Amino acid sequence: MERLVLWRHGQSDYNAAWRMQGQLDSGLTVTGLDQARRAARCLAALAPEIVVTSDLSRAGDTAAVLAVETGMPLRVDKRLRETHLGTWQGLTHAEVETRWPGGIPTWRGNPDWAPPGGETKVEVAGRAAQVVAELDAAGYRNAVLCTHSGLIAGLTPLLLGLPVSSWPAFRGLGNCHWTVLVRDDSLWRLSSYNTTAAL
């Protein structure tokens, strides 16, 4: 593989309400669908050979816009789901902070730490890396993965070979923003991070 685009879904109902959605399924807002349309025009210009999406509807509905733009079918893979946030799922940021003071900064700063009953960023990145390896082995050179902010923030430094201690430098992406990695001499290099379509 020569180029990998990691694309976050458009704004969802939970994003708009500042709720921790994790693997709960929430739909796109009107704003999220507009974001997907703008981004899809940019990503189609990269001529992806395959588009793979998380099975959560906010990602699938975002990726479907790119599928229409490019005329290519979607592949769905549940390993591209967002981090399972355990008992935090469905709560607002304020509710989490009230019940687990300091929990959100700890979670963001330690990739080996998981919310109660949830996944670590290291675990999420590991399952996503399996998808990349399989696409690479299948001979794809240019792929788009439509997925989630937490997954992208873990998968990116994993593919770059960075130590886990440095992962918190990669913060979450904005809705419908994307990251581009290119590979040269078998090493992944970061081409762009948190890129967005022009308004």
Catalytic positions are 9, 82
Which run of H or E residues covers position 143? strand 142-147
Q: How many CA atoms lie within 13 A of 85 on its CB side?
A: 22
Angle between helix 57-70 and helix 30-44 axes, rounded to 10 deg: 40
Nearest to 153 by CA among 131, 130, 183, 122: 122
C-beta of residue 135 within 8 angstroms of C-beta of residue 1? yes
